[in-house]
Structure 1
Amino acid sequence: MITSSILVLFGLGFVAAAILAMASKVLYVKEDPRIAQLEDALPGVNCGGCGYAGCGGAAHAVVEGKSGSNVCVIGGLETAQAVAAVMGLEVLEMEPELAFRDCTGGKRAEELYHYEGAGDCRAQALLYKGSKTCPEGCLGLGTCVAVCPFDAIHMGPEGLPVVDPLACRSCRKCVDACPRDVLSIVSMSERLLHQEEVNDCLAPCRQKCPGQINIPKYIEQAGKGDYAGAIHTLRERNPLLLVCGRVCPRPCEADCRRTHVDEPVGINMIKRFVADWEMKNNLRLEIPCAKETGHKIAVIGGGPAGLSCAFFLRRLGHSPTIFDSMPALGGQLRYGIPEYRLPKKDLDWEIQGILDLGIEVRTEMKFGVDFTTQSLEKEGFEAFFMGLGAWASGNLRIEGEEAPGVISGTELLTSVGLDKAPDIGNKILVVGGGNTAIDTARTSIRLGCDVTILYRRTRNEMPANLEEIEGAEDEGVKFLFLTAPTKVITGEDGHATHLECIQMELGEPDESGRRRPIPIEGTETRYPADTIIAAIGQKPALSCFYSEGSDQCDLDFTRWRTINADPDTLQTSVPNVFTGGDLFTGPDLVISAVGAGRRAARSIHFLLTTGEIPVADNIIRKLIPYTLFKDVDGVNHKDRSTMPYLCDGSHRTSTFSEVEGALSEEELKHEASRCLRCGLICYDRDIPLAEVVTVRVGEKVE
């Protein structure tokens, strides 16, 4: 009995073995030998930072085409090259990337309610979008810390995540976990290319800056003595620090949150200090550039827009060449802004720093005469930036304005910039109320002239910067307000001798918001003049875009004699031609031209590398209303610093030397301490937040 049972069991075992042997042959799946080779190439730490279940999972993903040779987030370039060798791929070295926090709120951001639920940002965000009043800022529960497999993030004393750059492996786990998009993985190029979006941490000053400079960050760095850091922050958006530190009318300061406490922070004073620090110490801080791409771009016009565009193209790895009609680069910076405001040696130093990145220059080359886009395409140029500026002057539109002795403000300033000051006599009348009129008048004063500015509105309506108007008054420039020219009177030789003017009165506001000047009949008066200077606006000269004898041009122009282009991408009607600066906007600020140059460089970069120009749906186009509150609680009064003058008005008129000086280091620290380090709605207080009673923020998040 026992023997037969054993025989039955033995028979069943034999049958089962035979079945399994047959099944193994039928169902056998041969493993790709590359998987084992890849596992050997990978470091074997099984950290999971790549998003796969250990190095074995990562190896399978590479073989199946679900991931690339850079799958490993901790192995670095050598591991990527080893993986690529197994797969028969080429590895291109990528720019280093790091986790970056875009939030300054932390414990400064008010609480909407006390939260006692799960200590996870994602869970809290599901409950009324979180407990913080700021709709975009960090919730502070440290979910990013918990998910980081490399201990590269910790919560700092301000209640914000702090990234350790040495430990971060750019695995994106913190980015994926953050419900507020506070964290991102960025490289240098991505920072340069980023367009500000409404969910970024944007203080009102940043929103107003045409160059999109991170103003609170560079002020904080400067205040801590990290001048190099401040310069690097500035250069992510602006290569013309010395220039803008001297001539920018600082629109950012108009919306500085501190204006609701005392006076705005001296933002531009701080920029000038750090820019001068680099130049005076002749440091030439290193400006990193991406790997060469081989793409050639022609930048036509070497003014602020062209210089900015070339700078950012070069930093993105491309090869720009600047073409300019003048003997030296700078455009209106060199030939339109007087020496006493912007010393040419400082401009030269700054431009040289841009060119030292490896940018080719061809000066005294006139577009439409010495070259065209077609001729440059034959040289291998793939894209074009048009930054020719606004060099043509506006007309007075009165009888006799073509007479000798009537010139434009641009003509005078350019001649002086070329060291060829014309003989304009002694008695000078300047017509206009903008910065060009003031620059023309103050330049004429320095040429030894008796100067009077005629303006058809009152002093309050003058578009020139108040400091420039006051500077002109200090130097002896006289003003005739509510006065408009009607006729140029000439002598027997045809030269202008007088300017006939009529008195005006102000009526209702016009489209600019200023009250419209209305002539008062019978009030004509003649004013004697050796030279009459028209400084009533500038416009682009478009004749260079037309071939000789042709009235056709591929580019589209506006009725304001500017190039028509997409305002977000600055791409014209010709796909590989872009524009920016005064040629696009008409006469505008230097910082506006700088910002346009970077935007155009961004568009050119994407066009040449991807064939498409991405534009985010939520880029900032106007100030964010809920950030513009006026109740700035818990902040004490601090006096604003004053920019020093190098000498008084009577001495200034005998020289073209620079008028304004720079803050001292002590004054810089004081001015930086006035900055509230604002975010969207958070800011530094002198009184702790717990002691501040406010209902403002509870109303605005709706």
Structure 2
Amino acid sequence: MILNSLLVLMGLGFTAATILAVASKILHVKEDPRIAQVEDVLPGVNCGGCGYAGCNGAANAVVEGKSGANVCVIGGIETAQAVGAVMGLEVLDMELELAFRDCTGGQRAEELFNYEGAGNCRAQALLYGGAKTCPEGCLGLGTCEAVCPFDAIHMGPEGLPVVDPLACRACRKCVEACPRGVLSIVSMSAKLLHLEEVNDCLAPCQQKCPANINIPRYIEAAKNGDYAGAVNIIRERNPLLLVCGRVCPRPCELDCRRTHVDEAVGINMIKRFVADWEMNNNLRLHIPCAKETGRKIAVIGGGPAGLSCANFLRRLGHSPTIIEAMPELGGQLRYGIPEYRLPKKDLAWEIQGILDLGIDVRLNQKLGTNFTINDLEEEGFEAFFMGIGAWASGTMRIDGEEAQGVISGTEFLTGIGLGQTPNIGDNVIVVGGGNTAIDAARTSIRLGCDVTLLYRRTRAEMPANIEEIEGAADEGVKFIFLSAPTKVIMDDKGKATHLECISMELGEPDDSGRRRPVPIEGTEERYPADTIISAIGQKPQLSCFYTEGEEQCNIDFTRWRTIDAHPQTLQTSIPMVFAGGDAVSGPDSVISAVGAGRIAARSIHYLLTIGKIPLADNTLRRLIPYTLFKDVDGCKNKTRTPMPHNCSGDDRISTFKEIEGCLTEEELQHETSRCLRCGLICYDRDIPLENVFTNRVGEKVE
């Protein structure tokens, strides 16, 4: 019985084996040997970063034509070349990508509740979105560290993931594991192209900066003695750090949280220190650029907007050419800002660093006179940026304005910038309240004149930087407020001799939000003047867009006679023409022009490479309300470092030598120590968080 059973089983086994042998011959599928060859040159870690099921899945995808030689995201160019050699495929140059952690909170972060569940970020996120008050903050349980197959992420002492750039292979495992989107994979180009969003970890100072510089990061780098790192962080958003370190109005400092304790951190002084450190040591730090694309872009105008746009286009791999109407690059930086604020040798050094990236320049070439857009198209230029500035001066619209001795502020300062020494006599009256008016007044003082500045509102309403107003007063400029010009009095030769003015009083607010000045009848008064400098507004010179004999222009303008450009892309009514800076906004700050240049470069890059300009739905357009505090708990007073000065007293008005100086290393250490390293909500405290009562803990963040 047992023997019969064994024989039956043996018979069944033999039959099955025979069937399988026959089936394997009939149904045999020959595997392409290249799959094994490709798999052999892949790293073999089966990380899945390529999007396929391990290295075998990636090899199959390459052989089947579903992916290219660059399939492996961790192997680098060497692996791509090996795959390409097996398959005969083109290998694309790849930019280095690394995991980047956005959050700066960690153990400083306030918590909504005490979490005692599973030690996994994704598990905690299922409970009310996580324990952290900040809606974008790292939960700190190290899930990213656990999933990284390359041991490239470790939880640091501050309770935040720290990425090892030498070990990271950009496999994206950490990105997929993070429930808060704290980690991302970025390249140099991705950083340059990124538009700040409301879910980024943005301190109030960074939100307020028109160029969106990561201010807390560069201050921390400077504090740690990494001056080169600080310079590189700033250059991700601003190629004119030497310039802005001297002339920026510092809007970032207005919303510095430190103001709730004592005074704002000297953000711009720190920027100037690291910028001067690079220049004074003649280092010319390496500035990386992406692979050449061969796309030609004309940047018309070599001021701050044009220089910024050309810089970022070049770093993205394109071939920009700056076309400038003046003898030298710089725009108002060179021809509008006096030497005592911005030494021309420093400006030249910074511009040369931008040009050294490989940017072509054409000087003394004016749009509409020496060339047209059509001419440039025939040369092979594919896109255009208009950074032509605002060089046309507003008029006082009074009788006698045509008199000899009446000039505009831009005309006066441009002449000085060109090295001309004007004969303006002994008595100078400057009309206006902006930085151009102040610059004209302080320049006239240095030419030995008696200077009076006339402004139709009060000192509190002057749009000029407060430090410039105070500097002018210290140097002897006399101010007459609530007074407006009504007539220029001239002699029989047509030369101005006096300026007649009328007293004003402030009425209801106008469109700018400032109270409108109203004349007081019967209060006219005359002031002697050899020269009257009108500095009451600037606008773009739009005549360059009109072809001779034509009354129509293809590009649209606003009712304020500026170029009409899309607020997010800076694209004009002509799809391949973009514009930014003062030509679009009207007179504004250098840092605003720099920010516009980068936005335009981003738009041009995307239009030329993918045919459209992507917009983020949550792009930062205004300050994030829940990041603006009324108080800052747990911080002690620490006095702000005074601005150093190179000269004072009579020396200031007898020379055009630069006035403001640079911090010492000791002063830098003090000033950087004042920074609270803010994030959206988090900041450094002088006492432990558990000992601080704050009404922000437990708030619902919307």
TM-score by length of 2: 0.97
Aligned mates of 2:651, 2:449 — CA distance in 1 = 15
Cα 1:147/1:531, change in 2 over 3 Å: same
What letter is aligned with 2:683?
Y
Q: Which residue of 2 aligns with 1:430?
A: 430
Q: Which residue of 1 aligns with 2:601?
A: 601
Q: Which residue of 1 aligns with 2:218?
A: 218
Aligned mates of 1:281, 1:6 — CA distance in 2 = 92
In 2, are the aligned partners of 1:471 and 1:649 still within 8 Å (CA)? no
Q: Which residue of 2 aligns with 1:315?
A: 315
Q: Which residue of 2 aligns with 1:396?
A: 396
In 2, are the aligned partners of 1:341 and 1:659 still within 8 Å (CA)? yes
Moved over 4 A (4+): 1-18, 45-53
Moved more, 41-50 or 364-373: 41-50
Q: Which residue of 1 aligns with 2:133?
A: 133
Give secondary structure in 1 for the equivalent of 2:595. helix
TM-superposed CA distance for 1:269, in Å, is: 0.6
Aligned mates of 1:225, 1:17 — CA distance in 2 = 74
Give secondary structure in 2 for the equivalent of 1:699. coil
TM-superposed CA distance for 1:389, in Å, is: 0.2
Alignment of structure 1 residues 120-159 onto 2, 5 Å: 120-159=120-159
Cα 1:58/1:652, change in 2 over 3 Å: same
Moved more, 222-231 or 502-511: 502-511
TM-superposed CA distance for 1:3, in Å, is: 11
TM-superposed CA distance for 1:511, in Å, is: 2.3
Give secondary structure in 1 for the equivalent of 2:698. helix
- Segments of structure 2 that go 5 or more residues without pairing to the other structure are none
Moved more, 205-214 or 516-525: 516-525
What letter is aligned with 2:76?
G
TM-superposed CA distance for 1:700, in Å, is: 4.2
TM-superposed CA distance for 1:679, in Å, is: 0.1
Give secondary structure in 2 for the equivalent of 1:594. helix
Q: Which residue of 2 aligns with 1:524?
A: 524
In 1, are the aligned partners of 2:204 and 2:257 still within 8 Å (CA)? yes
Alignment of structure 1 residues 613-692 onto 2, 5 Å: 613-692=613-692
What letter is aligned with 1:331?
G
What letter is aligned with 1:439?
D
Q: Which residue of 1 aligns with 2:554?
A: 554
Aligned mates of 2:598, 2:444 — CA distance in 1 = 35
Cα 1:86/1:698, change in 2 over 3 Å: same
Q: Which residue of 1 aligns with 2:240?
A: 240
Q: Which residue of 2 aligns with 1:407?
A: 407
What letter is aligned with 1:234?
I
TM-superposed CA distance for 1:78, in Å, is: 1.9
What letter is aligned with 1:219?
I
What letter is aligned with 1:608?
L
Alignment of structure 1 residues 34-113 onto 2, 5 Å: 34-46=34-46, 48=48, 50=50, 52-113=52-113
Q: Which residue of 2 aligns with 1:251?
A: 251
Cα 1:368/1:15, change in 2 over 3 Å: same
TM-superposed CA distance for 1:14, in Å, is: 6.6
Aligned mates of 2:97, 2:412 — CA distance in 1 = 50
Q: Which residue of 1 aligns with 2:612?
A: 612
Give secondary structure in 1 for the equivalent of 2:697. helix
Alignment of structure 1 residues 470-485 onto 2, 5 Å: 470-485=470-485
CA displacement 1:86-140 (0-9 Å, x = unmatched): 3331011201110010010000001110101111111111110100001001000
Cα 1:514/1:47, change in 2 over 3 Å: closer
What letter is aligned with 1:589?
S
Cα 1:598/1:5, change in 2 over 3 Å: closer
Aligned mates of 2:542, 2:245 — CA distance in 1 = 31
Give secondary structure in 2 for the equivalent of 1:698. coil
1:170 is the counterpart of 2:170: yes
In 2, are the aligned partners of 1:248 and 1:591 still within 8 Å (CA)? yes
In 2, are the aligned partners of 1:412 and 1:421 still within 8 Å (CA)? no
What letter is aligned with 1:685?
R
TM-superposed CA distance for 1:496, in Å, is: 1.3
CA displacement 1:435-469 (0-9 Å, x = unmatched): 11100001111111111001111111111111101
Q: Which residue of 1 aligns with 2:205?
A: 205
What letter is aligned with 2:504?
M
Give secondary structure in 2 for the equivalent of 1:452. strand
In 1, are the aligned partners of 2:47 and 2:171 still within 8 Å (CA)? no
Aligned mates of 1:383, 1:556 — CA distance in 2 = 17
TM-superposed CA distance for 1:60, in Å, is: 2.2
1:361 is the counterpart of 2:387: no
TM-superposed CA distance for 1:142, in Å, is: 0.5
Q: Which residue of 1 aligns with 2:511?
A: 511
Q: Which residue of 2 aligns with 1:346?
A: 346
In 2, are the aligned partners of 1:334 and 1:347 still within 8 Å (CA)? yes
Moved more, 251-260 or 14-23: 14-23
Moved more, 19-28 or 194-203: 19-28
What letter is aligned with 1:242?
L
Q: Which residue of 2 aligns with 1:378?
A: 378
Q: Which residue of 2 aligns with 1:466?
A: 466
Q: Which residue of 1 aligns with 2:116?
A: 116
TM-superposed CA distance for 1:66, in Å, is: 4.5
Q: Which residue of 1 aligns with 2:185?
A: 185
- Identity over aligned residues, as a percent? 80
Give secondary structure in 2 for the equivalent of 1:518. strand
In 1, are the aligned partners of 2:335 and 2:413 still within 8 Å (CA)? yes
Cα 1:427/1:694, change in 2 over 3 Å: same
Cα 1:18/1:396, change in 2 over 3 Å: same
Cα 1:386/1:3, change in 2 over 3 Å: closer
Cα 1:50/1:664, change in 2 over 3 Å: same
Q: Which residue of 2 aligns with 1:569?
A: 569
Moved more, 500-509 or 677-686: 500-509
In 1, are the aligned partners of 2:222 and 2:672 still within 8 Å (CA)? yes
Cα 1:82/1:490, change in 2 over 3 Å: same
Aligned mates of 1:617, 1:131 — CA distance in 2 = 27
Aligned mates of 1:102, 1:6 — CA distance in 2 = 70
In 1, are the aligned partners of 2:296 and 2:380 still within 8 Å (CA)? yes
Aligned mates of 1:402, 1:47 — CA distance in 2 = 76
Aligned mates of 2:613, 2:634 — CA distance in 1 = 45
TM-superposed CA distance for 1:45, in Å, is: 4.3
Q: Which residue of 1 aligns with 2:541?
A: 541
Aligned mates of 1:431, 1:448 — CA distance in 2 = 19
Aligned mates of 2:479, 2:73 — CA distance in 1 = 68
Q: Which residue of 2 aligns with 1:334?
A: 334
Moved more, 421-430 or 584-593: 421-430
Cα 1:435/1:2, change in 2 over 3 Å: closer
TM-superposed CA distance for 1:612, in Å, is: 1.2
Structural RMSD (CA): 1.8
TM-superposed CA distance for 1:21, in Å, is: 4.4
Give secondary structure in 2 for the equivalent of 1:696. coil
- Segments of structure 1 that go 5 or more residues without pairing to the other structure are none
In 2, are the aligned partners of 1:631 and 1:696 still within 8 Å (CA)? no
TM-superposed CA distance for 1:649, in Å, is: 3.4
1:451 is the counterpart of 2:451: yes
Q: Which residue of 1 aligns with 2:579?
A: 579
CA displacement 1:660-698 (0-9 Å, x = unmatched): 111111111111111000000000001111111122232
In 2, are the aligned partners of 1:273 and 1:663 still within 8 Å (CA)? yes
Q: Which residue of 2 aligns with 1:227?
A: 227
Give secondary structure in 2 for the equivalent of 1:618. coil
Aligned mates of 1:4, 1:249 — CA distance in 2 = 101
In 1, are the aligned partners of 2:120 and 2:142 still within 8 Å (CA)? yes
Cα 1:498/1:39, change in 2 over 3 Å: same
What letter is aligned with 2:539?
K
In 1, are the aligned partners of 2:496 and 2:530 still within 8 Å (CA)? yes
CA displacement 1:499-557 (0-9 Å, x = unmatched): 11111111222222222111111111111111111000100000000001111211110
Moved more, 500-509 or 17-26: 17-26
What letter is aligned with 2:324?
D
What letter is aligned with 2:222?
A
CA displacement 1:49-84 (0-9 Å, x = unmatched): 545444323322333444432333443222212222
What letter is aligned with 1:443?
T
Aligned mates of 2:178, 2:17 — CA distance in 1 = 54
In 1, are the aligned partners of 2:111 and 2:697 still within 8 Å (CA)? no
What letter is aligned with 1:111?
E
What letter is aligned with 1:134?
C
Cα 1:30/1:469, change in 2 over 3 Å: same
In 2, are the aligned partners of 1:300 and 1:384 still within 8 Å (CA)? yes
